């Protein structure tokens, strides 16, 4: 086994041939075994993978990465959870942008995009202790070698790759462990300004005219930033408006 060059992320990997959801497996580990920070649960096949907004996460077995990383970000208040989201998204971005020539973008709040299509998604579930985050389960689904999708808005590394080779899943998991840990350590050592600056530089449709949907209404606006609790700031007719996730979606 080759270990990632990290202090803790990915030093312990629990592999399951199949399970319902790696987030649920990680949650069970936390409930019963006090796992070390950085432990990863990875599977070849999820039978009940979960996505954002109550969606399911579908991925063909053994072709993609579906895993959950366990962190203990007790330095973060529950109200600061978007900082963790930023660090994780950027860590994923760092690895993928080295692999691909197509520009990779972070689509607020939880998606990774390339070529206007979804490469992967993040589902973070926190366990609080008082005001702070005691445990964080970071579920990541990344389309790697799959080339046929039900949705035309999905894509994979393989489809975006400069060379049509199959990727080595464990190699990508190692690279992700390294880049995610670097960003997490950056957050933990309180380098928040540089984290946020880089996050904005990688943000999908940042400072571009774009269309959005809110409830049944379509409107045009320009993303100008993210506020301290992770709301998306959109300038609409010269007026800044702030949106919680679930309140607004992109028209792709």
Footprint on residues 62-81 left by ligand BTN (CB under 6 A)? 66-68
143 lies in the binding site for ligand BTN (CB under 6 A): no
- Give the strands of the sheet with 239-243, arranged side by side: 239-243, 232-236, 217-226, 209-214, 249-250
- Where are any strands of DSSP class E within the chain? 13-16, 40-43, 65-71, 104-107, 111-114, 117-129, 132-142, 209-214, 217-226, 232-236, 239-243, 249-250
Q: Which of 121, 157, 206, 231 binds ligand BTN (CB under 6 A)?
A: 121
Nearer to ligand BTN, 45 or 72 (CB): 45
Residue nearest to ligand BTN (CB): 121
Residues 6+ apart with CB under 8 A from 176: 10, 65, 91, 92, 95, 140, 142
Nearer to ligand BTN, 50 or 174 (CB): 50
In eight-state DSSP terms, residue 231 is P
What tokens were used for 118?
Answer: 């979804």
What is the rounded CA–CA span in Å between residue 41 and residue 15? Answer: 6
Footprint on residues 152-211 left by ligand BTN (CB under 6 A)? none
What is the rounded CA–CA span in Å between residue 159 and residue 140? Answer: 19
4 lies in the binding site for ligand BTN (CB under 6 A): no
49 lies in the binding site for ligand BTN (CB under 6 A): yes
Q: Which of 39, 110, 186, 241 binds ligand BTN (CB under 6 A)?
A: 110
What tokens were used for 207?
Answer: 């400072």
Nearer to ligand BTN, 191 or 244 (CB): 244
Q: Which of 123, 124, 187, 203 binds ligand BTN (CB under 6 A)?
A: 123
User: Which span sits near ligand BTN by CB under 6 A: 21-29, 145-153, 226-234, 238-246?
Assistant: 21-29
Strands 40-43 and 13-16 turn out to be: parallel
User: Which span sits near ligand BTN by CB under 6 A: 32-40, 124-132, 136-144, 153-161?
Assistant: 136-144
What is the rounded CA–CA span in Å between residue 136 and residue 66? Answer: 16
Closest approach, Cβ 220 to ligand BTN, in A, equals 25
Strands 217-226 and 232-236 turn out to be: antiparallel
User: Residues in the site for ligand BTN, rule: CB under 6 A?
Assistant: 21-23, 46, 49-52, 55, 57, 66-68, 110-111, 121-123, 139-141
């Amino acid at each position: 086994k080759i270990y990632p060059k990290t202090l803790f992320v990915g030093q312990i990997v629990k592999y399951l041939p199949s399970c319902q959801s790696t987030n649920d497996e990680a949650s069970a580990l936390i409930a019963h075994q006090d796992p070390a920070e950085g432990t990863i649960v990875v599977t070849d096949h999820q039978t009940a993978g979960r996505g954002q907004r109550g969606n399911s996460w579908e991925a063909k077995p053994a072709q993609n990465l579906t895993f959950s990383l366990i962190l203990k970000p007790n330095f973060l208040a529950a109200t600061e959870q978007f900082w963790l989201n930023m660090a994780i998204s950027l860590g994923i971005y760092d690895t993928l942008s080295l692999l691909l020539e197509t520009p990779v973008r972070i689509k607020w709040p939880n998606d990774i995009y390339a070529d206007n299509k979804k490469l992967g998604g993040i589902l973070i579930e926190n366990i609080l202790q008082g005001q702070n985050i005691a445990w964080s389960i970071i579920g990541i689904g990344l389309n790697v070698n799959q080339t046929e999708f039900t949705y035309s808005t999905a894509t994979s590394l393989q489809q975006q790759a400069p060379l049509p080779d199959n990727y080595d899943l464990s190699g990508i998991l190692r690279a992700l462990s390294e880049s995610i840990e670097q960003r997490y350590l950056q957050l933990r050592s309180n380098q928040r300004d540089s984290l946020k600056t880089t996050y904005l530089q990688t943000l999908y449709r940042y400072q571009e005219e774009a269309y959005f949907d809110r409830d049944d209404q379509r409107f045009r606006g320009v993303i100008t930033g993210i506020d301290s609790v992770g709301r998306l700031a959109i300038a609409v007719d010269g007026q800044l408006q702030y949106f919680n996730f679930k309140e607004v979606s992109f028209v792709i």
